[in-house]
Amino acid sequence: MRFLLDDEQREFARSLDGMLTAAGTPAAVRAWAAGDATPGRALWSRLAEAGVLALAVPERHDGLGPLPLELAVAFTELGRHAVPGPLVETVAAAALLDRLDDSGGSGSSGSGVEEAAAAWLPQIASGKAVVSLCVPAACGPYALDADAADAVLVVEGDTLRLAETAGPVQPSADPARRLARPLGGTVLARGPEVGAAAAHAAEVAALATAAQSLGLGRALLDRTVEYVKQRTQFGVAIGSFQAVKHRLADTLIALEFARPLLHSAALALAEGAAHASAEIAAAKVTAGEAAYAAARTALQLHGAVGYTEELDLALWIRKARPLRDAWGTPAACRARVLAP
């Protein structure tokens, strides 16, 4: 089976690429890392105007979705341009609230979820709300960008709460990924349906993170290809060396192998297929490892200049490993793929 995007989806990707190229995301990334969310929030609003966030929100709450394949297309471009902020967590939070709201407050979830869904989902779709999500069983005890988010949802076992505040920001391999432990808060729902909805949200997060990794890897490869055409050694461009060509070819093959896995996983999620979880895990580990390999290749072939913080390339390189491990480490994803 061939997994090819249609003309509309490809045009959507091109429009996002053009918009983000013109926006100059490196400045927004550096500002976000320094604790200034203003440029990032402005970019967030532009993405919402393009319909990106509405893809995760159902129509009954002013959204367009859920549309997993289009979401994967969009997040590939977000990864390509290293857009900062808890975008993955926001769409995962939307998936969580949608799934619980769709149950109509059955069981012991109560009306708190219905009120939260009515309050937050339209704001997510319009880009007015930045929401982070913490599911310790899937992503550890820290919430991404809790200090910049308008709301932080936390799932612990069968309990969903809206955090009251967050602890201090912790050091991260990627300075633009600001991690903090959510504290306190109001219980919105309790019951087994909370755990099921959280598992679904984690799968949406894993899919979006895989897409980000794929886009990140392609950006690293493209920048490296351009650099090896310009850097010379022994009077010739290093890109003409056979060893360099082979390294770049291996990187490209790994990324291209991940692309159909990502699209297949998105289709499986959209159809509610029983094997969707395994497909998402396969896409996540493959895209994450490919992006991490692309980062190592970029660092090696750029030489000493690749280590400098002043070079924009560093903003991309430092994202590769955190994305590889976020919402499912390689070991965890492989275990899901191999599970009976």
Q: What is the pLDDT of residue 106?
A: 45
Distance CA 86, CA 92 (A): 10
Residue pair 313/298 in contact (Cβ under 8 Å)? The answer is: yes
Residue 134: is it exposed, middle or buried by C-beta count within 10 angstroms (0-12/13-18/19+)? buried
**pLDDT average, residue stretch 315-330:** 97
What is the percent of the chain with per-residue pLDDT over 90, rounded to a whole number?
A: 91
What pLDDT band is residue 220 in, cutting at 50, 70 and 90? very high
What pLDDT band is residue 251 in, cutting at 50, 70 and 90? very high
Q: How far is CA 111 from CA 84, 105, 284, in A?
A: 33, 6, 34
**pLDDT average, residue stretch 170-194:** 94
Distance CA 22, CA 201 (A): 32
- Express each pLDDT in 28-79 by its tens digit: 999 999 999 999 999 999 999 999 999 999 999 999 999 999 999 999 999 9
Task: Dihedral sign for Cα 308, 312, 314, 318, please.
Answer: positive
Q: How far is CA 269 from CA 59, 254, 324, in A?
A: 18, 23, 20
What pLDDT band is residue 322 in, cutting at 50, 70 and 90? very high
Q: Which residues of 214-225 are buried (b: 16+ CB within 10 A; e: fewer)?
A: bbbbbbbbebbb
Distance CA 198, CA 159 (A): 10
pTM for the full model?
0.96
Backbone angles phi, psi at 220, to 5 degrees: -65, -40
- Express each pLDDT in 257-298 by its tens digit: 999 999 999 999 999 999 999 999 999 999 999 999 999 999
Task: Dihedral sign for Cα 299, 302, 303, 309, please.
Answer: negative
Distance CA 67, CA 52 (A): 10
